Structure formats: structure tokens, C-alpha cells
Structure 1
Amino acid sequence: MNEPNRAIPAFAEPDWAQVARIPVADCGEALSSLRLAPALQIYPAYRHLGIPEAVDDCQVRQEVFERLLRAAECLPAGLVLVVLDGWRPIAVQQHLYRTLEAAMARHHPQANAATLQRLTRQFVSPPSTDPQAPSPHLTGGAVDVTLCDAQGRWLDMGSRFDEVGPRSFSAHYETAAADDGAALAIRDRRRLLHNAMLEAGFSNLPSEWWHYDYGDQLWAWYRGQPAALYGPTAPPSLEGLWQQQLAERFASPT
């Protein structure tokens, strides 16, 4: 990997209104399960947290699958990429947003609706299945990741996954004091993860060291792409597959 210890830039938060205006030209890639990928560790975090309707797998678009494998190859020997979440049902997105917004309202009782939305969306996107402005995780292009060692021990990344505070910002530890060994070690782990993911073509949400995107509108925003590759999607249902197979089988000859 090129420059694995390259500093993490302090990017500004995206202009969400402009992000939502980026065209979506869905390429039609299917979702793929990461469960059997030997180079990755899978830990469906929201299922383990007992979030209603959270799935027990991590599924992503096929190109995201390939790029995660590429990112894993960029890591130094002894480090393993852990995937905590990929495609997310709309019910989970609604639960996360509603719960965090309510918590923000309790801690900021004077805040108006616009302020509460700004504070909440730093860490959870508003739920949306709009084909032209979907929540990132509903596209199969957003992933949440961390690192563990070869024995499966999670590394200290400086904050908990989904922690809502300044330590969650990707570049938070870039200002660590030169004599603070623990903070510098966290900084270097974040740099390893960040640079491996960017080397594989992902972009990072600055307020979440664990959140990376490929192919969705956030990726297009940070990568300067003219359009997103992925809109909202979902795993195919058995009924849907049967209907498709029957339609193909009994299609009238042309």
C-alpha cells in the first residue's frame, strides 16, 4: 500500500443538499454476502445489539465486495478487516435515526428541528428510499469497518463503533501530543484503516472513522464523480426470484 501512515485530512462535513442532488444511475449490481469471504471478519453489529429487523449478515454490492478484499490485502500482515455493517433495511435506518434524534433532543432541549437534524445526521443519515436520494446504507455501497488482529482481538480505535462525539471524527487523533503514546497508536491504526480503504477506492465520512462508501452519492461527492452508481436496493425475496424465473420460462417467443 502506498503511504500506509499518511495523515488523515480534516475534511469538512458534506453539503448534504448538494449530495442529494448528485444523479443516481444505478448499474444494477446485486448484493453479495461477505459471510464466506476468508480474508474478512464479519460481525453484524446491529443484530448483536438487538436492533429490531437488523440482518444477521453483511451484504454489499459486488464491486464493493471486491474492493473490500483489495483493502484487506493492503493491510500489514497480522491485521484483519472487520465488517460491522453493509446493506441496511429501511426499518433499521428509521430506528437508528429516530433513537439518536430523540437522544439529541434530550441533551439539546432548546434546539430547533434544523439543528437537531444537523446534529443527528453527523452520525446517522435520515431514512430515505428515494431512488434519487437514498440513505447510504440502503444502497449496498456503504460499509462500517474496523480492525482486529490475527487472533480476532479487536484493536482500540479510540472510540466505540457508533459513538456520538468528537472522538468518532476520523482525524480526531491527528492532533495527538508527541508524548502521548496511546493516542499516537490509535492515530496510526486509524491511518492504516483509512489509507487501506482509500487505496481500494472508498471515501470516508469525516465524522465516523468506521464509515466508508463506494458507488453511492457520498462517494461521488468526495471522489468528484458526476453520478452515483448505486441507488436503493434490497436482497431478492424467494417469491420475487420465483416470479422472475416463471416469467422467463413462460415468456412469449418474439
Structure 2
Amino acid sequence: MTSANSAIPARPDPVWDEVSALPIQGDDSALIPMSLTPLPIRVYPAYAKLGIPGAIPECYVRPEVHRRLLMAAHSLPAGVSLVVLDAWRPWRVQQYLFETLFEAIGTQHPEYDEAALLTHTREFVSLPSRDPQAPSPHLTGGAVDVTLCDQEGRLLEMGTGFDEAITASHTDHFERHAPQDERQRLAHKNRRLLHHVMLTAGFTNLPSEWWHYDFGDQLWAWYRGEAAALYGPAEVETLESRWRKQLCTPH
């Protein structure tokens, strides 16, 4: 186990064609809500709080992801909690985020062609996909967006806000660019701590986002060199889907 003070290593950006080509075993474990989880995990569904169309006021994950998040949270120093900002994400939310960022980048950089726009958008938002063989990571219940807070619920300094689509959001930014002030020094320390506890719990990190971690999806499998991913696309059970199952089951 490496020290929480160890540098965050540089990692390559995903080669998405290789990621989406990995087979999926198809673990069918049901999604479970994070909001019932005790401290030291806090749940703050960021997209619902921001009023993003289609966002849900809960963070759902696979059971094994839940267990590993607890492992990470319990290894944090006293007075520090893990905050889950997003987990399973409806496809329509993924589509909204992708299209919104794509348009914003295009407005800011009119010189970019379609390929460049796609590349820069995918740096921070993956393609919206419900393909059973290549789903968006957050559609699987294996991807989570997390940060840290103190015992009074105040978010710790991470250098950028959640979902800021700038190079300073790259996980190893402060390894490559020495912190210039106390705020950046705190962010450097906190990113290392978050990275350490999450990787020790078995997650992988998307290098362009300090907040994004994966377990069991294709992105996780690609970074770990696994032969296959565990999780394909998942859906949250609704009252309608429950009734349909009940009515179709012989009594």
C-alpha cells in the first residue's frame, strides 16, 4: 500500500475504441441507493441539485461498488468523509451533458472541426450510449463521482469544482504544475488522499477528472488490463417495472 502522500502517477487517456471493444461478463446485480449509507459517506446528488433535466435525487451503485466505497471511506482520516456526487446516470442526463459541453466548446473554439470538438468533449463527458456492448460508464452503476468534506459538511479544497472542464481538473495537475499558494497546496494534498483511498479500494481513475472513479465497467477493465468488464448497462427499478414483473410471474 502506498502512502497517501505519494505522487499521483501520470496515466494515458483512454483509447475509447479499445475500451468499448472489451467484452462484458454481464453481472446482473441490482442497483442500490447510497442515501441509506451511514457516515463516513455523504450523498449529494449534484445534478439533481443543479436542476439538470432528467437528473434523479439519488445516487445508485452496484452492491460491490457500494462495499468498496465504504472501504475507501473508512480508510480516510478522522473528521474527513467521502462525498458521492453522482453514480448511475440516466441516459438522457448523459446526452444533455454531452450536448451542452459540445456546444459550449464549439462556441469557445470556432476553429475546431467536428473531430476536434468530439475529442475535447470526450475529455470530460463520455459519449451517451445505451449499447449493451459499449454503454456509457455512468449507465452501468460502476462509475462514481466523488470528493471529500470535513465533519461539518464543508467540501475540501480540490483545486477546481466538480465538472469544471479545464485542464486544472486533470487528476495529476498539481504533480505537473507545482502549487503556487496555500489553496493549491491543500488541493494537491486532498487529491492525493482521495486518489489513494479510492485506488486502494480497487477503483481506477479517469485521468482528466480528479472526481471520477470506476469499478467493474469497461473503463475500469481497460485501465487494469482485465480481460472483461463486469457491468453492462443497468436500470433503476421503478414501480411500473416491479408491477410488470409481478403480473408476469405465475401465482
TM-score by length of 1: 0.95
Tell me the matched-pair count: 250
> What secondary structure does 1:127 align onto?
coil
Q: Distance in 1 between matches of 2:218 and 2:185?
A: 32
Tell which deviates more after alignment, 197-206 or 228-237: 228-237
- Alignment correspondent of 1:238: 239
* Structure 1 residue 33 displacement after superposition: 0.2
1:93 and 2:133 are equivalent in the alignment: no
> What secondary structure does 1:235 align onto?
coil
> What secondary structure does 1:231 align onto?
coil
- The answer as to whether partners of 1:169 and 1:207 remain within 8 angstroms in 2 is yes
1:36 and 2:19 are equivalent in the alignment: no
Relative to structure 1, is the Cα distance of residues 178 and 61 closer, same or farther in structure 2, using a 3 angstrom cutoff?
A: closer
- Alignment correspondent of 1:220: 221
* Structure 1 residue 149 displacement after superposition: 0.2
1:106 and 2:107 are equivalent in the alignment: yes
- The answer as to whether partners of 2:33 and 2:58 remain within 8 angstroms in 1 is yes
Q: Distance in 1 between matches of 2:178 and 2:212?
A: 25
- Alignment correspondent of 2:14: 14
- Alignment correspondent of 2:70: 69
Question: 4+ runs of 1 displaced by more than 6 Å?
Answer: none
Tell me which amino acid in the other structure corresponds to 2:109.
Answer: H
1:14-61 deviations in Å (ceiling 9; x for gaps): 111110101111110110000011121110000111101100000011
Q: Distance in 1 between matches of 2:148 and 2:250?
A: 46
* Structure 1 residue 227 displacement after superposition: 0.5
Q: Distance in 2 between matches of 1:96 and 1:78?
A: 33
1:152 and 2:148 are equivalent in the alignment: no
> What secondary structure does 1:227 align onto?
coil
> What secondary structure does 2:71 align onto?
helix
* Structure 1 residue 2 displacement after superposition: 4.3
1:86-235 correspondence to structure 2 within 5 Å:
86-177=87-178, 180-235=181-236
TM-score by length of 2: 0.96
Q: Distance in 1 between matches of 2:66 and 2:176?
A: 33
Tell me which amino acid in the other structure corresponds to 1:11.
Answer: R
Relative to structure 1, is the Cα distance of residues 91 and 177 closer, same or farther in structure 2, using a 3 angstrom cutoff?
A: closer
Unaligned ranges ≥5, structure 1: none
Relative to structure 1, is the Cα distance of residues 24 and 244 closer, same or farther in structure 2, using a 3 angstrom cutoff?
A: same
* Structure 1 residue 242 displacement after superposition: 2.1
- The answer as to whether partners of 2:143 and 2:215 remain within 8 angstroms in 1 is yes
> What secondary structure does 2:145 align onto?
strand
Unaligned ranges ≥5, structure 2: none
1:130-189 deviations in Å (ceiling 9; x for gaps): 001100000110000000001111111000100011110000011353774432221110
Tell which deviates more after alignment, 3-12 or 118-127: 3-12
- The answer as to whether partners of 1:149 and 1:155 remain within 8 angstroms in 2 is yes
Tell me which amino acid in the other structure corresponds to 2:123.
Answer: Q
> What secondary structure does 2:147 align onto?
strand
1:210-236 deviations in Å (ceiling 9; x for gaps): 000000000001111111111111111
Q: Distance in 1 between matches of 2:72 and 2:250?
A: 41
Identity among equivalent positions (%) equals 55
- Alignment correspondent of 1:82: 83
